[in-house]
Every structure is written in structure tokens, then in C-alpha cells.
Amino acid sequence: MLRSLCFSILFIFATTLLFAKEGMWIPTLLQKYNIEEMSQMGFKLSAEDIYSVNHASLKDAVVLFGSGCTGEVISEDGLLITNHHCGFDQIQKHSSVGNDYLTNGFWAMNRSEELTNPGLTVRFLVKMEDITSQMATKLMDNSGKVSKLDTTTQNLERIKKEYLAGTGYSADIKPLFNGNQYFIYVYEVFKDVRLVGAPPVSIGKFGGDTDNWMWPRHTGDFSLFRIYAGKDNKPAAFSPNNIPYHPKKSFAINIKGLKEGDFTMIFGYPGTTQRYLPSQAVNLIMNQSDPAKVAIRTVKLDIWAQQMRTDPKIRIQYASKYVSAANAWKKWQGEVKGLNRLDAINLKKKGELDFEKWTTTNSDRKEQFGSLPSDFEKVYSEFKQYLAANDYYTECIKYGSDIFALAAKLDAIKSITDHEKLAAELKKLREYLVTYFKDYDQTTDEKVWSALMKLYVAKVDSKYIPAKLSQLITEIGSEKFAQKTYRKSLLTDSLRIKELLNVFDQRSIKKLEKDPVYGLYKMIRLGHLTNVEPNFRSLTSSIGALQKKYTLALMEMNSGQRMMADANLTLRVAYGRIEGYKPADGVTYKCFTTLSGILEKDRLDFPDYKIPERLKELYRTRNFGPYVNQSGEVPVGFCASNHTTGGNSGSPVLNAQGELIGVNFDRCWEGTMSDLVYDPDQCRNIALDIRYALFIIDKFAGAGYLVKEMNLVK
């Protein structure tokens, strides 16, 4: 049964309160549900100024950067700003011991020096539409209401084809409200995106893992790229003849200054939230899954850190891997802490009691939804054991060591029989191997592989791993085991793998199957596929069906209120104010940081707080240019009450006039549980003040020509 959907902020607790700062809102519905409230908070524009398909709007300056970040256009010549950590992979790929752009930074002093990034794309949203009714089948229940959505691949592709006919665009169809509604998102995709500038990690990642997810923050987390197009201003593959893209809209940059209480708006692509999970799911996350994943990654990160300290080449090779793994590792710790502080399980249970009361007051509701609490209890009780085994497999085997990741890629192409498809996949694999071995150190990976193998067999219930693997428990982690397995593998040798792939025939496959690492990977993978994955997938599907039904019930229960659709890496708007918070008894955090705070953290013996001499000189000579606050200090960061999550990295932070004032890059640690439960007193987003980025570009890097192509509001 489908009902018309309302979009509201929902607290599934006994007391329902509305907070303007909670929510990631669908742009097409702002006029109906949000714009009045935004105006009351100080916003000066209309909903049409934010999102329109009929004329240029703010949405036309926002991009989905790569596969999971946001970026924004800041000049009429396609100049784009996003986070340093969003561009980190590209910066790392261009780096070597001889050209260490991570340590020294990179700045193109003219357009001919901008660096190409094969595979990097940016996507502009052309339009989004609710297509739920188009997906409805003709099946009817007794009341005459539509009872089913056709989500088959064939139907989704048919709808995409209708929307894309003759356009050259691409499209995604995404579910909202756990599959109770569907939207189509049409994009224009640009494939020639070049690196323009990036500060050194001592600025772009200042504070390192020590400050990650923390406030106060002093990180210059930004990088610059430029979008290129063909002569017709349309997307084109890389060509030296391409020209800078001229966007429909670029953001004006306001450098007048900020003050506490100012309205702020975030426009970007938040990745994933799970606001409507039942108490059983939250319990598993905070008491089993998050702690297990933290423990596994601690082992891997400790090994990487130790190895990276021994050799500058290894430091560069593993920089991007380390940053990526450490980010989630620290976030999970903050999430658990926040959920415990809020007593999230009991808060959910309290809301579930209200839900049960609501279902029992109506016989139809009781029949349709009354069994949900007991159904959740049963399925999660069974799911727990398979989730544990899957978490260890994912963290230790699937994404654990580099060598197992390579084994998985080889395994994937081994069974391809179509010659054309095999040739295409072999080409991709050969290209992958270039990057793989550039960022691979055998000793480092062997240490990781050995440690994670030992952890896997120690922590996973023996009934979920192959019997033969259990027999190796006494050997795993020993020097002898590594010598017999890892060091004898052809997967550690780039030349031997290239030779294997040159003529990938049955003889090559037999040689691969005799490889000790590949054989071990296959044995573990087969054990997981046999003993864990079928039940894990089946129970995940059952949970998904129950969650869809539960969300539908909550929508009925809260009919007439606004309801936030969970984030799913589609364009959303969040709004709030610049404001600090109180993280603990007797502690108050203000909402601004400055360059003075960077100098206060200066510690030569601590890499996370190493400050470039050039920055110190600029501070000593007060060579700040126009990029100062009312006190004559260079502002660095600010925190605000916008509801954000992963994917909002790089999102534009806009003022009441829709002008760019900052670049979002993080959340405070105390608020990382906001993907599950929101706390208006603790949840804060952290943003780079755009004036600090301009100061670094102009005064630190000497690339003031880039500032000249921007539209500054002074």
C-alpha cells in the first residue's frame, strides 16, 4: 500500500520536537516544506533560486565530485574547489619521491601546468523527478490502492531510456524512504578534470589523525581542479584541444566576514544515513559491529604507521590508503561514544513503544504492522552471528591486504569465457596494476596480511571458516607460514603477473591456481560463500523488507508532518546557523578558529602539527592581504548546525544571499552518531572559512591569478 509521501523531521521518541537544523532536504520540495522556515532564519533567496530546471540556479554550481564527494564551481572558467581529502587520491597519484606534491603542495602557475586525472569525473545534476507513480504496477488490493512497485532492472532501464533519449546525459534511479518512493536523477558528466592546486599536507591535513573529527579545527582542507569541455562546451574525453568549461552558474565568494548566529546552508551529496533503524539494529552497531571494525583497523593502521615512518617512499605509497582507513576508524569510535551518551537503544525503544500503541488502536494497522516489533527481534537475533563473520571477512580478507585485493581481481576474470569481454577486463587489470605496484610495498603488505590472517582465524567462529584453514591456525602469523605462502607468491612480482596476463589462457589459469596466496584466498572465499554469505544475504533481504514496511508505517503514523528521507548520495539541502557547542561539563567551544591557533599548536616533534616555514613567515610579517576578520586575524574554520554526513565533504557552505563563505569538510566527534540519532546540542558540521583558502592560494602559494578569476564580494 502506498500513500502520498510527506517530508518531515522525525524523532521516533515519546516527545517529538522539530529542530530547523536537523534534516537533509530534497531541493524540489523546498518551496512546499522548508523555504518559509529558512526565510524566518534569515535566508534571502527563493526556492527557485536554489533549484530550477528552467533557469540557472545554485544547483548548477554544485557537482558530485568523483564517486563520493561534493565540489563547487567558483569561476566562469570551470575552476572548482573541493576538500584536500577529496582530491587526495589524485594528489597522491601524481606524487613521487622526486615530485612530492603531498609534502610540498602543487600549484599550476598557468593552465598548461594543470595535471590530468584519468578516471576522475564530476557530475552536474540536470534535474530530479519523483517517478514512484511511473513504477507502480497495475496490481490492486481490495481497497483499490496500488500495492506494488516494479523495481526490476528492465523497468528501471526502460524509464532511464525514456528520460535520456537524445540528451547525451546519464541517469540514476534511487529509492527513498527505504524503497517506498523512487526518484530519477539526470546528470551531465564531465570526464576531463585537471588538478590545479593543493596545499601541502601540513596545511591541507593539518592536525592529521589527532584532530580528525574534532573541534576546534585548523585544517586548510581544500584542493582546486578545473573542468574542461569540448569546443561546444559539452563533456568530452581528455584532449589537449579541450577548453575550460563555462558553467551555467558559479558561486560568488563573500569575504565580508561571518558572525555567530549567521544563517548557513549546505548544498551537496550526503552519502548515507539510517535514521529509522529499530533498536535491535542500533544495538548491533554500537555493541558489536563498530567495535569489531575499530579493533581490526587498529591492527592495520598501526602497521602502516610504523612502516611509513621508516621510509619516505612507503609514506607516499600508503598515504591515501592510511587516510581512507583511518577516517572511518575514528568515526566509528565517535559514533559509539555518542550513541552511548544519548542512551540511543533506550531512546529507540521508547519510540517503539509509542509505535506499538499506535498500531493497537486500529485493527487494520494492527494486522498490517502489529508484528513488526517481534519480527525485528527475531531476524536481528539470527543476523547477529552472520554480521560478525561478515565484518571480519570484509575487514581482514576483502579489504584487508593489498595482495588479497589483487587475488580477488584475478579471480574475477578467471571465469570469463567471452573473448571480447576478457580482453577488455585484461586491459583494465593491466592499467590497475600500474597504480597497484606504484603504491605497493611487499614488506609492509606482508606484515598486514600476516596480522589480519591471524586475527581472522582467531576471531571468526570455526563453523564459518574452512576446516583446512582451521588446521593452519598454529602456523598462521609465523615466519614459516609467511615464507611458504606470501613470499612464494607470484602476486608480489609485477613482472611475473604481467607475464601471466600476456597470454591469459588455460595454462596461465593453472599456474595461477597453484599460487599459494591465490589458493588461500580461494579457500577462504569459498568458505565465506558457503557458510556465511547465503544466510547473510537472505537475512539482509528480510531486514530490508521489514525496514521498508516499518518506514511506511512511520510515514502513516506521522502523516502531515515533514519527514526527512535518508541520505543516499543525491543532492540535498541542509540549513542551520554558525554556532558553537558544549561537548562536556565545564567545556564550551566557540565557533571560529584563526591562524593564531595554528601557531599555538606548533610542535616540531609532532608531525600532525608541523607548520610550513612560509606560513610562519606570513604570520610574523602580518602579510594577510584582504583575507582577515574584524580583528585583523586570518580566519581558518568555523562550525555550524547544519546536518551533514559522508559525501558532504567539499560541499559549499552558503550565506543568506547564496554566496560561498566556506567549504564543508567534517563533523565534530561528539556528533558522529547523527547518521543514526540526531542531537541538536552536539551535532555540528565543520567548515573551512573560504578566506583561509584564498589566503593560502594568494599569499602562501603565490597563485593570485586564480583569485582574479573568481567573483569576490567585498
Tell me the per-residue pLDDT of 580-625, one tens digit each, with 9 for 90 and over.
999 999 999 999 999 999 999 998 778 899 999 999 999 999 999 9
> What is the amino acid identity at position 292?
A
Residue 523 has pLDDT above 60, yes or no: yes
| pLDDT computed for residue 146 by the predictor | 52
Contacts of 308 (CB under 8 A, 6+ apart): 314, 315, 318, 319, 322
The grid cell for 229 is 569541455
Residue 561 has pLDDT above 90, yes or no: no
In-domain check, residue 508? yes
In-domain check, residue 481? yes
As a whole number of angstroms, the distance between CA 595 and CA 634 comes to 5
Mean pLDDT, the chain, whole residue set: 93
As a whole number of angstroms, the distance between CA 324 and CA 315 comes to 14
Helix (H, G, I), strand (E, B) or coil at 679: coil
- Tally the domains of the chain: 1
Domain that includes residue 441, residue range: 401-531
Work out whether the CA dihedral 590, 595, 600, 601 comes out positive or negative. positive
Helix (H, G, I), strand (E, B) or coil at 78: coil
Average pLDDT over every residue of 42-53: 97
At residue 3 the predicted structure's pLDDT band, cuts being 50, 70 and 90, is very low
In-domain check, residue 457? yes
As a whole number of angstroms, the distance between CA 518 and CA 76 comes to 51
At residue 479 the predicted structure's pLDDT band, cuts being 50, 70 and 90, is confident
| pLDDT computed for residue 467 by the predictor | 83
Cite the active site residues.
85, 221, 649
Please report which helix (H) or strand (E) contains residue 47, including its range. Answer: helix 47-50
In-domain check, residue 414? yes
Contact present, 117 and 90 (Cβ < 8 Å): yes
Contacts of 361 (CB under 8 A, 6+ apart): none
Please report which helix (H) or strand (E) contains residue 335, including its range. Answer: helix 319-341
Residue 141 has pLDDT above 70, yes or no: no
| pLDDT computed for residue 480 by the predictor | 85
Contact present, 267 and 652 (Cβ < 8 Å): yes
| pLDDT computed for residue 482 by the predictor | 86
CB atoms within 10 A of CB 240: 7
| pLDDT computed for residue 139 by the predictor | 57
Average pLDDT over every residue of 420-436: 91
Q: Which residue has the cell 567462529?
A: 461
Residue 473 has pLDDT above 90, yes or no: no
Residue 259 has pLDDT above 60, yes or no: yes
Nearest to 410 by CA among 395, 425, 424, 399: 425
The grid cell for 108 is 599550476
| pLDDT computed for residue 145 by the predictor | 60
In-domain check, residue 102? no
The span from the first CA to the last CA of the chain, in angstroms, equals 54
Contact present, 484 and 516 (Cβ < 8 Å): yes
> Which residues on adjacent β-strands are paired with residue 254?
713
Average pLDDT over every residue of 351-379: 95
Among 294-308, 500-514, 697-711, the least confident range: 500-514
Among 308-317, 382-391, 416-425, the least confident range: 416-425
| pLDDT computed for residue 81 by the predictor | 98
In-domain check, residue 491? yes
Nearest to 175 by CA among 109, 123, 131, 136: 131
| % of residues, the chain, pLDDT over 90 | 87
Q: Render 551-608 in DSSP notation, one character per residue.
A: HHHHHHHTTTS-BPPPP-SS-EEEEEEB--EEEETTEEE-SEEEHHHHHHT--TT-GG
What's the per-residue H, E or C state across 516-566?
HHHHHHHHHHHHHHHHCHHHHHHHHHHHHHHHHHHHHHHHHHCCCCCECCC
| pLDDT computed for residue 548 by the predictor | 96
Contact present, 576 and 641 (Cβ < 8 Å): yes
pTM (whole model) above 0.85: yes
Average pLDDT over every residue of 132-142: 73
Query: 243-244 and 170-176 as β-strands: parallel, antiparallel, unpaired?
Result: unpaired
The grid cell for 59 is 544547483
Among 190-204, 338-352, 411-425, the least confident range: 411-425
Residue range 177-228, pLDDT digits in tens: 999 999 999 999 999 999 999 999 999 999 998 999 999 999 999 999 999 9
Among 10-19, 235-244, 508-517, the least confident range: 10-19
Q: Where are the beta strands (DSSP E) in 608-651?
A: 635-640
In-domain check, residue 643? no
| pLDDT computed for residue 138 by the predictor | 61
**Radius of gyration over every alpha carbon of the chain, rounded to an integer in angstroms:** 26
| pLDDT computed for residue 470 by the predictor | 77
Helix 319-341 to helix 84-93 angle (10° resolution) is: 160
As a whole number of angstroms, the distance between CA 82 and CA 69 comes to 8
As a whole number of angstroms, the distance between CA 207 and CA 686 comes to 14
In-domain check, residue 563? no
Q: Where are the beta strands (DSSP E) in 69-143?
A: 69-73, 79-82, 106-107, 122-130
Average pLDDT over every residue of 13-34: 72
Among 30-34, 229-233, 391-395, the least confident range: 30-34
